[in-house]
Structure formats: structure tokens, C-alpha cells
Amino acid sequence: MHNKSLSELSAALHNSEISSVELTQHYLNRINQHNGTLNAFITVTEERALEQAKAADKLLAEKKAGALTGIPLAHKDIFCTKGIRTSCGSKMLDKFIAPYDATVVEKIDQAGMVTLGKTNMDEFAMGSSNETSWYGPVKNPWDTDRVPGGSSGGSAAAMAARLAPIATGTDTGGSIRQPSSLCNLTGLKPTYGRISRYGMIAFASSLDQAGPMANSAEDAAWLMNVMSGFDEKDSTSVDRDVPDYTASLNDSLEGLTIGLPKEYFGEGLDPRVAATVEAAIKTYEKMGATLKEITLPNTGLAVPTYYVVAPAECSSNLSRMDGVRFGHRAEDPKDLMDLYTRSRGEGFGEEVKRRIMIGTYALSAGYYDAYYLKAQQCRRLISNDFQEAFKEVDVIMGPTATNPAFRFGEKTDDPVAMYLEDIYTINTNLAGLPGMSIPAGFVNNLPVGLQIIGNYFDEARLLNIGHRYQQETDWHQRIPETFK
């Protein structure tokens, strides 16, 4: 049952071949069996899940159910869920019980889906390996000595091990796409503003975007239909009609022009990954697409620009976590300053503290123009590069990550090496563009992802391009031996 697509599960539920309670219990049993090994879930909401499943079965019996009614799902623990702990992978919010649902959670609940629990993540979404979580690292199901990627590593590991049929993630600099690449998933970061950020705990407000993490482009399209849309509670949400993302999945790729940025295939890319990605791109050529080399000349500015903008915004967003309004509160403070310093010192981990310090410095008097303002100007140059490229090509393809999954501890002592993990994904966040990673093959039994970048609101085209590739290949259907 756990190897079926969402459309197959939906058909089984609507044809009464299985009940939502039975399906939910099946996944809960798998979580109980494997989560001790993987550490993919922070919170498992078994009681609530079975209640939601019973309600879904009632709707199914009355023929009032939607396409996704009764299908279980895992939420990254960054989305507020009413009455359930929302920790963001941090000691700071370990005891925080959200008083309301995030819009994404609300939409998914309204679709009749069943929440299995909240998945582990890098603390406040800061990390590329899921090693910064206060709840311990998440293991990659393909090799439990290696990282699953981050920050949505819990959702990625849960999906790869088939502990859930689909999951939500968030992407600030690659946090859906990079773990999808490392765990053999299809992960989509939509256009900035396509999905509401209301109730999604903020890391960097101008970069954060929610999206689906799925076993296929088709499954991602099903969840995009539910997650997307304007939200008046989010001032950055875009008021634009939502298409049926499943409608164009089978469209022909004849005449598609694919841009290959020379900057994405140069120094720093594992040659085995390059060969795997190039072979995947050749498949598109056989399907009628044309390949064209392009240049994105300001790619080299992406990492330094991101690591000024994102820490600056995070230092502002996390200032509310002070032991008074939100978060961990130090015991027996001597005075207000002691309360602030000890609450934040005890509540935040090392990587979060590092980024708060960088961001506060970049925003401080005398440095704002030199750092934050300059970074925003570089951001415009990066965005302009993409717009120039899209005058010549329909989509851009390249690797998602520089390498397959690396071992635990391999990059934790070198923050810059860890930051470079996102070198191919950061640009799309800075430009606000949609990007997707799909399974493209393996290197030494470790997954490799192909990244596809589109122009604004081109999610339907990306899903179509991913789906057509998955009709020609079976990489996305492969499952780690231990979890079959």
C-alpha cells in the first residue's frame, strides 16, 4: 500500500477497497517501526490522525469526498498546527503549542487529508544536512550514516522510507530541492507568493516558500492544487488564479528549449553527479526538446548575497523569541537583561546564533548600506540574469546539489563548505522563481537530483516536464531496500 501513488490511493479509498482508518494505521505502524532509526518525526499525532481518518471515511461513505480526502500526510514542523507542538526543530519552541493553524495546514485539512505528525528539520530551517535540529539528526534512508539534506530533512527521510505518501516542506535557499535530491524525491519550490506563508514560522521572509515533497511530479501536482492560492492574511501572497496542475501533466515536450547554464557545470561539481545529470538531460533531447548553453554570469554572487540577506532577515524575525513573548524562558532571571540573554543563549543552537550575529552586524548602523543594501542590489542582478535567459529558453536545467549525500560530521566544522551545498538552489529563491528537483539516477547507490527552473508561475510546466521524464524512467520508483 505504501508504494502506491496518490491517484491510486484516492481510487482505492473512493472504491472502498481500503478505509482511511486502515490506510492511516498502516502508515502509523511504519512510523512506529522505522522512526527510531531515522528520527524523521518530532511529533506523531496518532490519536488526531485516526479521528481525521474516521471523519474522512464518513465523507467517503456519503460520496462527499474530494480527490485527496482520507490520504495521510506529514507536515514539516515549521507550520503552526492548532493544539499541537510546533517546535521548528529548536529547544526555543519545544513547549510551544500553536493556537491556530497555518493557512497551508488549514487548506490541507479542508481537503480532508490526515495529518500523521510533524517532521524533524534543521533548527529554524537553518542548515543543509538536518544536523542542527535540537531533536538530533535525521538519517538518510538510502544510507543511515549519511545526511538526508536540509532543512526539510525529516520530510525527505519520511517520504524516502515511505512513512508517509506525501509531505510538506519549505524552501528558503534549497531546503525542499536539496533534500529531495539526496533522498530520491520530487520536490517543488513554487514561485514566491504562490503559497501562503501565514502560520509558517519565518526564517527569511523575502525568501521562504512552502511546497510539496512527493514521490512523483504527478503526486506533487495533486498537493499543489490544494496548497496554492491567494491568502489575505499574507501580504506577500499573490492574487492570481490557480490552475489545475494535473491538467497539463501529459502535454508534449516537442519544441521545448532547455537552457544549460555553464556556471552550473563547472568547478565544484562532483563529476559523477555531472555525468548523471547530463544523461538525464539527454533523455529530454530524445523527447523532442532542444538544448542550448546559456550563461548566468552573476551565479558566483549567490552564496555571499544569500548569506547577508537571509541572516539579516532571520535576526529580525527571531528577535521575538526573547523568553517574554515567545519561546524558552530561563529560570530565575536576575533582571530583564539576564532574562533576555540567558533565554536566547539557552534556547538557540550554534548555527542559529551564528546567523543572528551575522544578520545583526549586517543591519547595524554604518554597515546597512555596505552589506544589506549591496546584497539587495546583487539580488537584482541575479534576477535580471534569469530574465535575460528566459528570453531565449523555456526552462533551465542543471544539478540540484554538488554531490550525493555526505556523511554526518563531514561539513559541520566548516560552515562555508555547508553553505556551498546550496550553490545551485539559492539563486531561484533570491529571484523568487519556481524550481523543482526530480530523481535523475544514482552514484554508488546514492540518489542524484536534476533541477528544473522555470519563469514566474510556471509550476504547471515544471510538473509537466518532470512527469514526462518520469514516464520514460523509473528512478523515482526506487525505494531503499530496508524500507520496501
From 19, 20, 133, 151, active-site residue: 151
From 175, 216, 237, 437, active-site residue: 175
Check if 411 is active-site: no
Check if 107 is active-site: no
Check if 151 is active-site: yes
From 10, 20, 76, 155, active-site residue: 76
Q: 3-class secondary structure for the chain? A: CCCCCHHHHHHHHHCCCCCHHHHHHHHHHHHHHHHHHHCCEEEECHHHHHHHHHHHHHHHHCCCCCCCCCCEEEEECCECECCEECCCCCHHHCCCECCCCCHHHHHHHHCCCEEEEEECCCHHHCCCCCCCCCCCCCCECCECCECCCCCCHHHHHHHHCCCCCCEEEEECCCCCHHHHHHHCCEEEECCCCCCCCCCECCCCCCCCEEEEEECCHHHHHHHHHHHCCCCCCCCCCCCCCCCCCCCCCCCCCCCCEEEEEHHHHCCCCCHHHHHHHHHHHHHHHHCCCEEEEECCCCHHHHHHHHHHHHHHHHHHHHHHCCCCCCCCCCCCCCCHHHHHHHHHHHHCCHHHHHHHHHHHHHHCCCCCHHHHHHHHHHHHHHHHHHHHHCCCCCEEEEECCCCCCCECCCCCCCHHHHHHHHCCCHHHHHHCCCEEEEEEEEECCEEEEEEEECCCCCHHHHHHHHHHHHHHCCHHHCCCHHHC
Catalytic residues: 76, 151, 175
